[in-house]
Amino acid sequence: MNLKEKWVTAFEAFPHKEDILKDIRKEALSFFAEKGFPHKKIEAWKYTSLSKLQATDYSLWQPVNEKTTLSAEVLHEYSIKDCYSLVFVNGFYCAEMSSKEIAGITITPLLEALHKGGEAFISKYFNTTTEKGDVFTALNTAFASEGIYIEVPKGKVVDKPIQLLYFNDRGETTCYQPRNIIAVGENAQLKVIEVHQNVSNTATAILTNAVTEIFVAKEAHLDYYKLQNDHLTASLIDNTYISQEANSHASVHTFSFGGELTRNNLNFYHQGEHLESTLKGLSILQGSQHTDHYTLVNHAYPNCESHQDYKSIVSDEATNVFNGKIMVEQIAQKTNAYQQNDNILLSDKATVYTKPQLEIFADDVKCSHGCTVGSLSADSLFYLQTRGIGKKEASALLTYAFANTVLESVKIPALSEYINRIIAEKLGVTVDF
């Protein structure tokens, strides 16, 4: 029995298959059973093989009663200071380790929110922005059990960022399916940091298949940060769908530093005029790591802007993929869309695949895209060395300068400091950036 067949069969024993989502779950499972895992003959997966993932005997996480907590030391190590925390341990929401109350906003475990809200809540928020042809989203829909619903009411400015911390310490080969819904009300403001971390002492393979649906209302502001620095035994498939209304601002920063295989699918859908979308990413990859960024910005209304800036620093035999698409529909006149992907290769065996794309059906637009692949400038390295800077430190300084267009737009100072420490560690220097 292969992995697909194993997971389809596991649905019969899944305890939530008969809940309020039962019909939606069954339909999603049928789609997964029909399509199976994506392969390299599919254009969107051309440069990312899932053969090793399919050869791993992952068990689907089952929501059994085994709630645990982590040590305070572990929580402190992976937490960003001056933030609210919502903590999940081995797939369960851990209220004891989470911030007790965040004044003025609604925070509810996902299944509880679905049952309280009923059909009206589901028809408004659940599976309404997702890509219906995505296999991993369908898999998550079939098996989703734990996640969080966050609602920020109209006019509310959340005073500190909220960090979503997903920990695993079970030491078993498991696939988790977290599902989140975030609704930012009209003229409200929210900052979110998302972290998935395997803290088990064993070298167990972990797969996280996450789906997040985000709704940004009129004149609202959302800043979302994905910090991906997991162990090399962990893999992550991350699908994020963002629906934006008029005059809103939404930005997503993705920092991919760890994990064996990481696939980030980031989709923006415009639902009004005069809004702005920002997508930025930084990958620093070593060893045999593989990271794939797949982005879509759907300009469906006039007078909107989008900005994409993705950078990668790839060494050893690692691989980075960028496949970005800007779609401008015929009605979306006066669109201003920018897309850039820049890459540095630090070894002869490192690999980059880059494919920026524009599909434009309007005639009064400003759209541009581009990509570069190269190495560090020998002249610049030599110049810094003549000023008494060691070669390793000079290389690190140039690399940091290259990445800084992504880092400089981070709006959480404590997160910037945390990322700078990770970059110094990845580059093997003690420079305080």
CB 76 within 8 A of CB 156: no
Last residue of a domain, one of 237, 252, 272: 272
Q: Are residues 181 and 68 in the same domain?
A: yes
Closest CA to 296 of 379, 215, 378, 359: 359
Query: How many Cα atoms sit within 13 Å of 109 on the Cβ side?
Result: 13
* Residue 319, strand partner residues: 290, 351
Task: Label residue 247 left, alpha or beta by phi (over 0 means left) and psi (-120 to 50 means alpha).
Answer: left
Look at residue 349 in the predicted model and tell me its pLDDT. Answer: 95
Whole-number pLDDT of residue 431:
61
Pairwise CA distance, residues 23 & 232, whole Å = 37
Is residue 318 domain-resident?
A: no
Predicted pLDDT of residue 65? 57
Mind listing the pLDDT tens digit of every residue in the chain (433 residues)? 899 999 999 998 888 888 899 999 999 999 999 999 999 999 999 999 999 999 999 998 876 656 676 888 888 899 999 999 999 998 889 888 999 878 899 999 999 999 999 999 999 999 988 887 899 999 999 999 889 999 999 999 999 999 999 998 888 899 999 999 999 999 999 999 999 999 887 778 999 999 999 999 999 999 999 999 999 999 999 999 999 999 999 999 999 999 999 999 999 999 999 999 999 999 999 999 999 999 999 999 999 999 999 999 999 999 999 999 999 999 999 999 999 999 999 999 999 999 999 999 999 999 999 999 988 877 787 777 877 788 777 787 888 888 888 999 999 999 999 998 888 888 777 666 5
Last residue of a domain, one of 248, 272, 296: 272
Residues 12 and 149 grouped into a single domain: yes
> How many domains does one find in the chain?
2
Is residue 28 domain-shared with residue 151, that is, in the same domain?
Answer: yes
Domain span at residue 223? 3-272
Tokens of 143: 């098996």
pLDDT at 130: 84
Q: Note the pLDDT of residue 393.
A: 79
| Pairwise CA distance, residues 291 & 278, whole Å | 20
Residue of 288, 306, 284 whose CA lies nearest to 297: 306
d(CA 216, CA 271): 10
3-state SS assignment for residue 136: helix
pLDDT value at residue 21 = 92
Q: Does residue 173 form part of some domain?
A: yes
Final residue in a domain of this structure, among 272, 304, 327: 272
Answer whether residue 233 is part of any domain.
Answer: yes
Instruction: Please tell me the predicted confidence (pLDDT) of residue 64.
Output: 61
* CB neighbour list of residue 284: distance below 8 Å, 6 or more residues apart: 256, 257, 312, 313, 403, 423, 426, 427
DSSP character at residue 36: -
**Is 24 in the same domain as 153?**
yes
User: Which is nearest to 210 in space by CA: 182, 240, 253, 178?
Assistant: 178
Q: Give rounded-to-5 percent helix, strand, coil for the chain.
A: 25, 40, 35
Q: Is residue 385 part of a domain?
A: yes
What is the pTM for the complete model shown?
A: 0.95
